[in-house]
Amino acid sequence: MEKTLVLSQTQKNTLLDHAKKNPLIESCALLLGKIDLNTYKVKDIYLTENIENSPVNFTISNEELLAAYQEAEKRGLDIIGIFHSHPHWEAIPSQTDKKFMRVNPVIWIIYSNEKDQMRGFILESDIERVLIKIDEI
């Protein structure tokens, strides 16, 4: 059954602004929320810094990861997704993304700065598309 990620227009704008603030490097963020069957409902966006400062890779520091997990736990939420941008490429998982999707089995939202396009993916037995639904909460 198809999975759906639900976020508000405000949350989407926050992610796009983050990606456009420094369009030459991959931006990254964590999505905090709840999962109800096949619906992933974003409750908050946790913006992070790409410590690689790279146009083709991103890494979130251990300190920021720990802080995000602590914030989620404090609020009774889960890390349900990872957002990152592709400054000069399509919104599809790269080979590196595919490798890390195995380690982080959450929804991956990829934004293409070049094509102004946002897509969602999850790794099950294979990489599957996730529907992104904008819903004012």
Cα–chain center distance at 65 = 13
Contact by Cβ (8 Å): 91, 118: yes
How many Å separate Cα 36 from the centre of its chain? 18
Residue 31 class from Cβ within 10 Å (0-12 exposed, 13-18 middle, 19+ buried)? buried
Mark whether 128 is an active-site residue. Answer: no
Considering the candidates 2, 26, 52, 136, report the single residue annotated as catalytic: 26
**Contact predicate 55/25, CB 8 Å:** yes
Give the active site residues: 26
